[in-house]
Amino acid sequence: MGSELIYRGHETQTASDSYSPKPVKPWASVTRPIHYLLREQRLLFVLVGIAIATLIFTIFPTSRPPGVPRHHLTTTIPDSITYFPIETQNKFSYPHRVGFGSANPTGKIPLGLKRKGLRIVVTGGAGFVGSHLVDRLIARGDSVIVVDNFFTGRKENVMHHFGNPNFELIRHDVVEPLLLEVDQIYHLACPASPVHYKFNPVKTIKTNVVGTLNMLGLAKRVGARFLLTSTSEVYGDPLQHPQKETYWGNVNPIGVRSCYDEGKRTAETLTMDYHRGAGVEVRIARIFNTYGPRMCIDDGRVVSNFVAQALRKEPLTVYGDGKQTRSFQYVSDLVEGLMRLMEGEHVGPFNLGNPGEFTMLELAEVVQETIDPNAKIEFRPNTEDDPHKRKPDISRAKGLLGWEPKVSLRKGLPLMVSDFRQRIFGDHKEGSNANNASS
């Protein structure tokens, strides 16, 4: 019987190789995300994130609400963003400049909350013209570094800027190299009056040549724009009248004035060679006779001589027959011309002077009218190589720079007389007067 025992489980169990999954529950695609969010407080984190995003966009709106003027959104900022047309931006900005921003093809250039001033070095900045230029640059918001060896410059001319964080003064001779980081270089360093440049003629020509080389080298290294203040003396005793920039001059290369005349002509040559050969951005100004406050007293130039002599009750010394002519521009007109030239797009050279022409006798008469009608005139032998005529043709400056002098001799001379009177008779408060005169 035992052998007949059979395990019948195999008979009752059906074998199947097919797979049957569980039936899909309805709404599974909806309930599964809900279950996921409800587990481990995930829903709480989502709600907190939405709340934070809403708060941020409420406090810092990305656009101006309709109907609300733009200035209502910037009341907490003292100065709104300034925009300049593209032609103005192209005029004042260069690829390496940090002061005016970079080009923008949209036509309007945001310059920041304020115009960011340039960093500018003015060689000879403690001198007569240089100090007035420094005043204008500081007033415009630029940072100015004055470099001067004080041969003819005076600390009194710039001491009203002491304490200004945008002003620096370096006692330095430009015949020695100088390393600075600047955007623009106004190169004015050189004695300009016959008394001073004849005092040490070798030093004068070294200042013109070596000093210009050093400043051009600096401009090349740091990518600065360079302006050379040349002189009408490059025309010598001219055979063309009035003098245009295309006139090459009539200069005595071995005369007593040649250290200055030929030095400036060589400086112009170096400037153009650096421009053509090294790609330095340069500007050249040829300055005609300039007068105004802060001129050196007794420096040998005719206006300062006449004014000082008349104030001291001395005879006005006229050299030669007094028929030689000069053109006299007030210092504020010259500074305006230099700044327009620097910021413009034209290399030059440009004549910067007043085309109003006076003989030396006519100038003496104007000084008599202004200071002392009883002042005497005394004639002396003329100096060597003294030009007979000097008058600028400024049509190029008028056309390309939009510049021409505004201050006549009879209007500007009293301002200079007031400054000289204070300095000659012991009142050293000429700073305020000079500032008013240059504005």
Q: Say which residues have a Cβ less than 8 Å from residue 345's Cβ, sequence separation at least 6.
A: 91
Who has greater pLDDT, 248 or 58?
Answer: 248
Confidence grade of residue 26 (pLDDT, cut at 50, 70, 90): low
The pTM (predicted TM-score) of the whole model is 0.71
pLDDT tens for each residue of 377-388: 988 887 776 778
Of 84-88, 172-176, 313-317, 322-326, the least confident: 84-88
Q: What is the pLDDT, as a whole number, of residue 99? A: 42
pLDDT at 1: 45
CA–CA separation, 96 and 227 (whole Å): 17
Answer yes or no: 260 catalytic.
yes
Task: List C-alpha distances in Å: 310 to 152, 180, 345, 410.
Answer: 23, 44, 43, 16
- CA 246 from centroid of its chain's CA atoms: 27
| 96 contacts: CB under 8 Å, gap ≥ 6 | 183, 223
At 315, which amino acid appears?
P
The type of residue at 171 is R
CB 427 within 8 A of CB 433: no
pLDDT of residue 7: 46
DSSP 84: E
Alpha-helical regions (H) of 83-164: 86-92, 128-140
Query: Quick one: pLDDT at residue 412?
Result: 93
* Residue with more model confidence, 303 or 93: 303
User: In this predicted structure, which of 12-16, 156-160, 358-362 has the lowest mean pLDDT?
Assistant: 12-16
Kindly name the residue from 186, 197, 260, 291 that is annotated as catalytic.
Answer: 260
The pLDDT of residue 269 is above 50: yes
Residue 302 in this model has a pLDDT that exceeds 60:
yes
Higher pLDDT, 239 or 49: 239
Report the pLDDT averaged over residues 75-103. Answer: 40
Nearest to 364 by CA among 408, 423, 306, 319: 306
CB-based burial, 99-116: b 16+ in 10 Å, e otherwise: bbbeeeeeeebebeeebe
Residue 399 has which token pair? Answer: 């056309």
User: Taking 80 as the threshold, does the pLDDT of residue 172 lie above it?
Assistant: yes
SS3 content of the chain, % helix, strand, coil (to 5): 40, 15, 45
pLDDT at 144: 97
Whether 233 contacts 253, CB under 8 Å: no
Q: Which helix (H) or strand (E) holds 205?
A: helix 201-222
The answer to whether 331 and 129 have CB atoms below 8 angstroms apart is yes
pLDDT at 423 over 60: yes
Closest C-alpha to 157, from 129, 185, 191: 129
Residue 92's pLDDT is 42
Burial label for 4, CB within 10 Å (0-12, 13-18, 19+), is exposed
pLDDT exceeding 70 applies to what percent of the chain? 75
Average pLDDT, the chain: 81
pLDDT of residue 398: 96
What is the percentage of the chain residues whose pLDDT exceeds 90? 54
In this prediction, residue 382 carries a pLDDT of 78
pLDDT at 222 over 80: yes
Q: What is the pLDDT of residue 147?
A: 97
Helix 360-370 with 302-311: angle, nearest 10 deg: 40
Pick 106 or 353 by higher pLDDT. 353
CA 38 to each of CA 28, 35, 50: distance values in angstroms, whole numbers, following the listed order: 15, 5, 17
pLDDT of residue 117: 87
pLDDT score of 349: 96
CATH, domain range 119-438: 3.40.50.720
- The full set of domain ranges for the chain reads 77-110, 119-438
| Size of the chain, expressed as the number of residues it contains | 439
What's the CA dihedral at 121, 124, 129, 132 to 10 degrees?
50
Is the backbone peptide bond immediately before 95 cis, with ω within 30 degrees of 0? no
Long-range contact set of residues 295-302: C-beta below 8 Å, sequence gap at least 24: 295/128, 295/416, 295/420, 296/128, 296/152, 296/193, 296/196, 297/420, 297/423, 297/424, 298/195, 299/152, 299/193, 299/195, 299/196, 300/193, 300/194, 300/195, 300/196, 301/193, 301/194, 302/326, 302/360, 302/363
Parallel, antiparallel, or unpaired: how do β-strands 143-148 and 119-123 relate? parallel
pLDDT at 109 over 60: no
Predicted local distance difference test score (pLDDT) of residue 389: 84
At 111-133, the pLDDT tens digits run 445 667 899 999 999 999 999 99
Contacts of 37 (CB under 8 A, 6+ apart): 43, 46
Q: What pLDDT is stored for residue 409 in this prediction?
A: 92
Instruction: Provide mean pLDDT across the span 160-178.
Output: 95
Bigger pLDDT: 409 vs 63: 409
- The 10s digit of each residue's pLDDT in 5-24 is 444 444 444 444 555 555 65
Q: What are phi and psi of 13, to 5 degrees?
A: -95, 125
